[in-house]
Amino acid sequence: MEKILVFQSVAAFLFGSVIGSFLNVCIYRIPRKESIVFPASHCPKCDKNIKPYDNIPIISYIFLKGRCRSCGKKISFLYPLIEFLNAVGYAFIIYKFGLNINGLIYTLLYSSLIVVTFIDLEHQIIPDRITLPGIIIGFILGATVLPVGWQNSLIGLFLGGGLFYLVAVLSRGGMGGGDIKLIAMIGAFLGWQSALLTIFLGALAGSVVGLFLMAFKGKGRKHRVPFGPFLALGAVAALFWGNHIINWYINFGR
């Protein structure tokens, strides 16, 4: 059984790297309001179409030494990094949850979080093209397939989104609309307990990074740090270790 699970995880890694290549297309084109289907993959520097043998996830970047075959310009290291992160995430998800409908759904959520993370880091926006369909899909799957159940999913959607909306109102814009929809999407997929845990872990990670930037990079308090990546990180932690963290907290408080 263990050998089968390892084989499935390796297959998931390979498949995840391929999907990661598509995520790179989404991350580049969605903020520019371009189609993610047409035209075919091309170099953003010279616009030459990328040959299939130059588009093999991770491997092509290594063989090309990080440069476009046509124009010789550097290819961003983010491309193989995103492919690798998605591949590793798929492998761990399938290893933990198994090659079943739940595992496949969680890979969908994971890939969505990767897209949101890197778009928010570069452009400081969280596209509605990801979060709004994600909220609907998350609730439908939560209500019909996922173990979270429809009530937990619905509460997670409104509790997570509602808390962030309240923060946005009270702080007069201190919380962006994209963050509100992102945590609502996470709550729809994972339920209200995981939504609250995501907020806590995201805020904790964001605070640590913010303090680091102020202490070592000379950034002021008014320097804007995208919160979406920290929510995504918190959601991944909640997905993999949420029950352990919550149980530890409950037992610690006794």
pLDDT on residue 253:
60
pLDDT on residue 40:
85
CA gap 160, 193 in Å, rounded:
10
Instruction: Write down the domain spans for the chain.
Output: 1-99, 124-254
Total number of residues shown for the chain: 254
pLDDT on residue 219:
65
Question: How large is the average pLDDT for residues 181-187?
Answer: 98
- Render pLDDT for 58-74 as a digit per residue (tens, 0 to 9): 999 999 999 999 898 99
CA gap 211, 91 in Å, rounded:
33
pLDDT on residue 58:
96
Beta partners for 67? 74
Quote the mean pLDDT of the chain: 92
> Residue 45: pLDDT band by 50, 70, 90 thresholds?
confident
CA gap 178, 7 in Å, rounded:
38
| Residues 152/191, Cβ–Cβ less than 8 Å | yes
- According to DSSP, residue 67 is labeled B
Tokens of residue 78, six digits: 């983010």
The answer, yes or no, to whether residue 10 has pLDDT greater than 90, is yes
The answer, yes or no, to whether residue 221 has pLDDT greater than 70, is no
CA gap 71, 45 in Å, rounded:
8
Question: How large is the average pLDDT for residues 130-145?
Answer: 97
Residue 222: phi and psi, rounded to 5, are -85, -5
pTM of the full predicted structure? 0.93
pLDDT on residue 215:
80
pLDDT on residue 59:
95
Rounded to the nearest 10 degrees, what angle do helices 101-123 and 78-97 cross at? 150
- Render pLDDT for 74-124 as a digit per residue (tens, 0 to 9): 999 999 999 999 999 999 999 999 999 999 999 999 999 999 999 999 999
SS3 content of the chain, % helix, strand, coil (to 5): 70, 0, 25
| ∠ CA 1-247-186, rounded to 5° | 80
Q: What is the CA radius of gyration of the chain?
A: 19
Percent of the chain clearing pLDDT 70 (strictly above): 96
Question: How large is the average pLDDT for residues 153-171?
Answer: 93
Cα dihedral: 67, 70, 71, 74 (round 10): -10
The answer, yes or no, to whether residue 146 has pLDDT greater than 90, is yes
pLDDT on residue 254:
62
